[in-house]
């Protein structure tokens, strides 16, 4: 369709043009990701339209879950960027289990997402490791209890055959750290302080991948990074846990947001995120079980 053909018809057949316009609006709402523009304080129009158009038509799909009130329609999720890889695996399994359900995930920064929710944007589920943002949403915009679905601790990355068995072995070895301007660096320092271990880094790197590369090349004996960084590196480096890091690990918390309209869908999705299947897939990415 092009604009010229539309304008030709405008003069003669306004009803057809209106129908096309409605069709386009519905199509965009149903197909596009949930919109949440950075400046819009109000509810995202796309997510609202998705609820009313696709949702009601699919409450009782043929062959779907038995019983009234089964999950259906679109479930709007706002999730932390770091969860993209795991949620990309999990969402199709969830949609397969509940025919007629569509999960629309918007990935982004937790603070921005929380801002949208506080401004009333209709979001069904919010998943974040940002404690401040989670707290802002929890204070007045959730249904039920927050559920921790995954944890991402700082670990000691070591090569196979290393003599390093734990955090107490780090003094006297060559350790690579992330810069303290990064979350990886800040969490590593906090964990080492909690463990009362004095580490003199052999190198301080701008990101986890470079930090890990120091160990791979032999320039360092060990590196402190998130466990997901070790898995994502695809190397044969091992990840050693230590209790002080586990205690302060980033916690990914799922909230059922009260601004959302798909409450049954949110209930089902949060239950799914806490299932054995989700725990396994989170663990595959290095996100330790809760």
Binding site for other proteins (CB under 8 A): 1, 5, 8-9, 12-13, 16-17, 19-20, 22-24, 26-27, 29-31, 50, 53-54, 57-58, 61, 64-66, 71, 92-102, 264, 267-268, 271-272, 275-277, 280-281
- Looking at the Cβ atoms of 118 and 271, the one nearer to other proteins is 271
- Burial of 277: CB neighbours in 10 Å, binned 0-12, 13-18, 19+: middle
Closest CA to 98 of 77, 76, 74: 74
* Residue pointed to by tokens 């072995």: 169
DSSP string, 212-280: HHHHHTTS-SEEEEEHHHHHHHTSS-EEE--HHHHHT-EEEEEEEETT-S-HHHHHHHHHHHTSHHHHH
CB of residue 168 vs other proteins: minimum separation in angstroms? Answer: 28
CB of residue 130 vs other proteins: minimum separation in angstroms? Answer: 26
Strands 175-178, 222-226: pairing kind? parallel
Q: How is residue 126 written in tokens?
A: 């919010």
CB of residue 256 vs other proteins: minimum separation in angstroms? Answer: 12
- Looking at the Cβ atoms of 26 and 204, the one nearer to other proteins is 26
CB of residue 23 vs other proteins: minimum separation in angstroms? Answer: 4
Please give the Cα distance from 285 to 231 (Å, whole number): 6
- Looking at the Cβ atoms of 95 and 241, the one nearer to other proteins is 95
- Looking at the Cβ atoms of 23 and 247, the one nearer to other proteins is 23
Phi, psi values for residue 172, rounded to 5° = 90, -10
- Looking at the Cβ atoms of 29 and 123, the one nearer to other proteins is 29
CB of residue 87 vs other proteins: minimum separation in angstroms? Answer: 15
CB of residue 161 vs other proteins: minimum separation in angstroms? Answer: 19
Q: In what order do the strands lie in the sheet with 142-152?
A: 101-108, 73-80, 125-128, 250-257, 142-152
Please give the Cα distance from 284 to 290 (Å, whole number): 14
CB of residue 7 vs other proteins: minimum separation in angstroms? Answer: 12
CB of residue 276 vs other proteins: minimum separation in angstroms? Answer: 5
Please give the Cα distance from 65 to 83 (Å, whole number): 28
Which residues contact residue 73 at a Cβ distance below 8 angstroms, ignoring those fewer than 6 apart?
50, 51, 54, 55, 56, 58, 59, 100, 101, 102, 262, 265
Please give the Cα distance from 54 to 56 (Å, whole number): 6
- Looking at the Cβ atoms of 50 and 114, the one nearer to other proteins is 50
- Looking at the Cβ atoms of 27 and 168, the one nearer to other proteins is 27
- Looking at the Cβ atoms of 258 and 263, the one nearer to other proteins is 263
């Amino acid at each position: 369709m092009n604009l010229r053909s539309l304008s030709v018809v405008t003069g003669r057949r306004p009803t057809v043009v209106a129908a096309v316009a409605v069709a386009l609006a519905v199509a965009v709402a149903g197909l596009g990701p949930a919109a949440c523009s950075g400046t819009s304080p109000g509810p995202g129009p796309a997510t609202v339209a998705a609820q009313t158009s696709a949702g009601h038509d699919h409450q009782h799909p043929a062959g779907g879950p038995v019983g009234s009130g089964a999950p259906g329609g679109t479930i709007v999720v706002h999730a932390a960027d770091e969860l993209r890889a795991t949620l990309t695996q999990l969402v199709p399994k969830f949609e397969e289990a509940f025919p007629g359900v569509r999960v629309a995930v918007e990935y982004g920064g937790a603070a921005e997402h929380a801002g949208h929710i506080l401004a009333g944007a209709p979001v069904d589920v919010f998943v974040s490791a940002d404690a401040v943002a989670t707290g802002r949403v929890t204070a007045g915009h959730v249904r039920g209890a927050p559920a921790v679905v995954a944890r991402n601790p700082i670990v000691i990355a070591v090569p196979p055959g290393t003599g390093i068995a734990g955090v107490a072995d780090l003094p006297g070895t060559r350790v690579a750290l992330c810069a303290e301007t990064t979350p990886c660096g800040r969490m590593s320092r906090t964990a080492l302080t909690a463990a009362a271990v004095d580490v003199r880094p052999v190198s301080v790197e701008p990101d986890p991948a470079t930090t890990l590369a120091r160990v791979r090349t032999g320039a360092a004996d060990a590196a402190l990074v998130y466990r997901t960084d070790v898995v994502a590196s695809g190397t044969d480096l091992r990840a050693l846990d230590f209790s002080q890091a586990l205690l302060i690990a980033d916690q990914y918390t799922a909230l059922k947001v009260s601004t959302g309209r798909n409450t049954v869908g949110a209930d089902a999705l949060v239950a799914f995120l806490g299932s054995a299947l989700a725990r396994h897939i989170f663990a595959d990415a290095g996100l330790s079980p809760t």
